[in-house]
């Protein structure tokens, strides 16, 4: 009888220990699971914070503004708003560069069209390729140089007009740029004119790596007009 009671007691104690161990194992597993979940949440929060900081820094770096030349009376400057002076500067620089043949227009004109493709629309690019072919067939390129420079008194805000807008932002402009054009053939000057070129500029924020201006020349909206020098003095 005593032996049976002792065995019963021993079995009950072992059963209790097993139950306690199972409860302990369950609590440990639950704790490990909770730690894993919390660790995942903390990691995601850290990654989210880093992402937000990166986005803010990139946004600060990529905010672009254009400054009007005269700030004596103050100015309201909005990001992504193109000042008319910037549009004029862009049109002048790109147009002047495309039509600069330092040594030989036969080689340089087409090369310039390719080089400045990111700054012109497909329509204007095709127009210039056709112009190149026409000049080539007419013998107006070989051994010919061309240079353009803006007339010193040519800048006038009245020569730039906003052509169209979208959501309150200008997306195209009509610009008159006045240039002094000089061409030579075999070293002899054959052309010296003062011309006003009516150019259309459009917003083209497609690839800032190739075109940081965010604009493109879209060709002529009228015929170039010959000027008298005194008209721009």
CA-to-CA distance for 199 and 222, rounded, in angstroms? 8
Which long-range contacts does 45-52 make (Cβ < 8 Å, 24+ apart)? none
What CATH number corresponds to the domain at position 219? Answer: 3.10.450.230
Same-domain pairing of 143 and 189: yes
Q: Is residue 77 part of a domain?
A: no
CA-to-CA distance for 147 and 189, rounded, in angstroms? 11
Same-domain pairing of 25 and 114: no
Identify the pLDDT of residue 171. 86
* Strand pairing report for 188-203 and 225-226: antiparallel
Same-domain pairing of 89 and 30: no
Q: Is the pTM of this model over 0.75?
A: no
Q: Is residue 70 part of a domain?
A: no
Same-domain pairing of 52 and 94: no
The per-residue pLDDT string of the chain (233 residues; one tens digit each, 9 = 90 and over) reads 544 555 545 655 555 555 555 555 556 666 666 777 677 778 777 877 877 766 666 554 555 555 555 444 444 555 556 778 888 899 999 999 999 999 999 999 999 999 999 999 999 999 999 999 999 999 999 999 999 999 865 556 677 777 777 767 788 999 999 999 999 999 999 999 999 999 999 999 888 889 988 999 999 999 999 998 764 44
Same-domain pairing of 50 and 95: no
Same-domain pairing of 120 and 228: yes
Same-domain pairing of 122 and 208: yes
Identify the pLDDT of residue 33. 66
Identify the pLDDT of residue 83. 79
**Count: domains in the chain:** 2
Residue 68 buriedness (CB in 10 A; 0-12 / 13-18 / 19+): middle
Cβ distance 173 to 200 under 8 Å? yes
Same-domain pairing of 122 and 174: yes
Q: What are 177's strand-pairing partners?
A: 197
User: Which is it for the CA torsion 15, 19, 25, 28, positive or negative?
Assistant: negative
Q: Find the domain containing 2 and state its range.
A: 1-62
Same-domain pairing of 171 and 214: yes
Cβ distance 101 to 144 under 8 Å? yes
Same-domain pairing of 125 and 226: yes
CA-to-CA distance for 156 and 229, rounded, in angstroms? 16
Q: Is residue 73 part of a domain?
A: no
Q: Is residue 220 part of a domain?
A: yes
Q: How many CB atoms lie within 10 A of CB 210?
A: 9
CA-to-CA distance for 82 and 162, rounded, in angstroms? 10
Same-domain pairing of 100 and 213: yes
């Amino acid at each position: 009888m005593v032996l049976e009671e002792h065995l019963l007691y021993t079995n009950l104690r072992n059963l209790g220990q097993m139950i306690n161990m199972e409860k302990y194992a369950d609590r440990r597993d639950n704790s490990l699971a909770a730690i894993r979940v919390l660790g995942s949440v903390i990691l995601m929060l850290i990654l989210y914070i880093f992402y937000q900081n990166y986005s803010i820094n990139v946004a600060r770096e990529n905010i672009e503004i254009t400054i009007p030349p005269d700030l004596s009376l103050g100015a309201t400057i909005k990001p992504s708003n193109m000042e008319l002076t910037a549009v004029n500067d862009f049109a002048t620089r790109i147009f002047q560069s495309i039509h600069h043949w330092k040594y030989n227009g036969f080689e340089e004109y087409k090369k310039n069209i390719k080089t400045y493709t990111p700054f012109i629309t497909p329509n204007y690019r095709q127009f210039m390729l056709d112009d190149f072919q026409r000049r080539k067939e007419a013998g107006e390129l070989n051994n010919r140089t061309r240079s353009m420079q803006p007339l010193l008194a040519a800048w006038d805000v009245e020569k730039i007009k906003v052509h169209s807008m979208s959501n309150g932002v200008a997306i195209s402009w009509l610009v008159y740029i006045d240039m002094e054009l000089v061409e030579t053939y075999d070293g002899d000057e054959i052309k010296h004119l003062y011309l006003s070129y009516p150019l259309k500029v459009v917003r083209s924020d497609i690839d800032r790596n190739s075109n940081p201006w965010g604009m493109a020349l879209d060709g002529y909206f009228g015929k170039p007009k010959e000027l008298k020098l005194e008209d721009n003095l």
